[in-house]
Structure 1
Amino acid sequence: METEPHVLIVEDDGEVRQLLARHLRENGFAASTARDGREMREVLRAGGAPVDLVLLDVMLPGASGMDLLKEIRATSPIPVVMLTARGEETDRVLGLELGADDYITKPFGRRELVARLRAVLRRAGGPAEAPAPPASPLLTFAGWTLHVGRRELTSPEGALVDLSGSEFDLLMAFLAHPQRVLGRDQLLEVGRRRIGDAFDRSVDVQVSRLRRKIEPVEGAAPLIKTVRGSGYVFVAEVGRA
């Protein structure tokens, strides 16, 4: 029997929290709830069913949602979807920079919420959901190795580098199409619109985050080049092992 995806809802408004939990349970999810960062940590540390995704409100008492997102990302690649009543571009970009996998602005439709959570979980579930999966589970470039099945990126020095779901999507898109210019609209499509809207700078933010993790030392040739007015090109040769 297939296990229900377990979503942890972190929301300080009790009525909203319970409505979200009920709606998710009615649509095939297991749902736990937390009012703030303290309760979130208790659920994540508990020995019960592991949490598959965190639905995290930005405006929380005490530590904000952004603070808790940074805390989660310091130790875990678990998918995080931010939930907020504020829809400004700066809020979306900040959440994406800190490692959020998606961003939902209140008010939202219940069907949209379920669809977005399912899409994030699919993308986090394995190579079948990644763009253009290769026949081989290992890809290499510039001394780096990506184990597609395990979603593990190893640096030339042998260190594991954590990738968020959107960073993994981007890297897979670049590795599937090396030496080809990819426009922002193409990156949005291969990323299944995890990255944001085509009319803001969310794609550029995600590329910048990926660059900081895989680019060589300062002064060396970049792996991802910006093509002004067109998009980006991954210049390194890609091999299969």
Structure 2
Amino acid sequence: MDQQEWMGYVSRLANGEYPVPVGMIQDYNDWRCRSIVGRALYWMGDTESAMRVLSTVVNVEPNMDDDPEYGLSEAEHKVLCLRDIAEIVWKLAKSEEAALTYLKEAYDLSRAYKHSFHSCARGDMFYRRLMVLSEAGKTQQAVDEAKAMVEAEKDNNGVNPYKYFALKFLAENAHNAGDDAKASEYYAEAFKYYPQNDIAERDLAKAAAEEDAAKRYKAYEFCSTVQYKPWEKQRPIVLRRGIDDK
């Protein structure tokens, strides 16, 4: 990729409908800029350009000690890039092996990173693996892996994205099989490991009270679309005014 092509992508993002500050994205030599540009292009629907940019970060080794006060860590950048590459190669080329390879690397990085994630749930990488397997005609393997994850995480209670997403997949699979009662049971169990606040507790109570299984499933499904609280504890926001208070 030459400088002219790169600056063309930067210009598109800086002058688009949702402008990205040039200072965040113009340095090609900073792979995090390429991460932002590639993912933004994919979000905009320009898959070919996104893949050209994202492919340049595949072999980058992120600093696993990076834990910035603001913005994404290097580990998160790499995970999100791998996630989007996996989605592209699966949707466009139906390359199951490649998609699962990228998702495994993303999952392994998510597991290995010791600091907080700010952008996504770590368990989402595992969920995406299950979805690829299911769409590839290997639903039973996906179900078995989901159940194995629930068993492996049985002692890790409280908020747990791995257990939640495994149970979410099992709920959706039961729904697709026409068993909304069982699907609702899976969802009710899943939400024990989902970050909640007072509004979540209210919504989940309403879902549980639905007598009709199909309506109960739909209510739980709605709750799964709402991020009531961050998955992980975030740093408090500190406002700095350039004044040294002593």
TM-score relative to the length of structure 1: 0.29
Higher strand share: 1
Higher helix share: 2
**If you compute each CA radius of gyration, which structure gives the higher value, 1 or 2?**
2
Q: Structure with the greater relative contact order (CA < 8 A, sep ≥ 6): 1 or 2?
A: 1
TM-score relative to the length of structure 2: 0.29
